[in-house]
Amino acid sequence: MGHRGSTEVLHSTAKEQTSYGEERALIQRVKAGDHEAFEAIFRQHVSRVYRQAFKLIGNEAETEEVVQEVFLAVHKKVKAFRGESAFSTWLYRLTTNVALSRLRKRKRTKEVLLDDYLPRFQEDGHHEVRPVFNWGNELDLRLEKKELHQLIREALEELPPVDKAVIVLSDLEGISNREIGESLALSIPAVKARLHRARLFLRGKLAVSLGYSPS
């Protein structure tokens, strides 16, 4: 498996399109120990596995290690795949879990209280800070796209690992709440709650960067 460690190989691998039936046949061959079938599965899915892992991990070197670990796990665990969901769903769930395990082992650069960047409300339901100012239109005027992306990346790193995984999978990967819940062992209401909270946190961080209250 070591020959699959370089970014060049990961990015230059041609994406092969296979039908559902062809992929099922490949998986059966992989279960039987067919190395060529495993290589075909690798080529079919490595680009998306890399992309998903990178969005969660944030650096190339560690992402490559995650990809290695994911496909080693596929090699070891493929016999446990029963076909109750699509193979891609099973694989990307595995990718999420491997990446999340690494995120949990990291020490976040600083402890951030999410509540400090969430809207605050009075007992009657109104915002504590009034009037509420819509600063969204200022983003394009005051921040270059590169600066905005950097602020978002930094804010994502301050989220707890599961919250980061939820918002990355939902907003960057376009994965449904149901699939996210299955990947992270969360109920759909829990996914929605974490996603809402993470989005509010990111919005609050951007507001503060522009000099406004997160409320």
CB-based contacts of 120, cutoff 8 Å, min separation 6: 127, 128, 129, 215
For residue 93, pLDDT over 50 is answered with yes
The percentage of residues in the chain with a pLDDT greater than 70, rounded to a whole number, is 71
Closest C-alpha among 79, 20, 73 to residue 42: 73
By residue count, the chain amounts to: 215
The CATH topology of domain 2-105 is Rna Polymerase Sigma Factor; Chain: A (1.10.1740)
CB-based contacts of 48, cutoff 8 Å, min separation 6: 88, 92
* Among the ranges given (51-55, 110-114, 129-133), the one the predictor scored with the smallest mean pLDDT: 129-133
Written out in words, the top-level CATH class of the domain with range 114-209 is mainly alpha
Closest C-alpha among 18, 72, 66, 78 to residue 43: 18
* Range(s) within the chain of domains with CATH label 1.10.1740.10: 2-105
Quick one: pLDDT at residue 37?
Answer: 93
* Range(s) within the chain of domains with CATH label 1.10.10.10: 114-209
On whether the pTM is more than 0.85, the answer is: no
Spatial distance between the Cα atoms of 48 and 173, rounded to a whole number of angstroms: 10
Spatial distance between the Cα atoms of 20 and 26, rounded to a whole number of angstroms: 10
CB-based contacts of 125, cutoff 8 Å, min separation 6: none
The letter for the amino acid at 38 is F
Report pLDDT digits (tens) over 44-83: 999 999 999 999 998 899 999 999 999 999 999 998 888 7
Quick one: pLDDT at residue 39?
Answer: 94
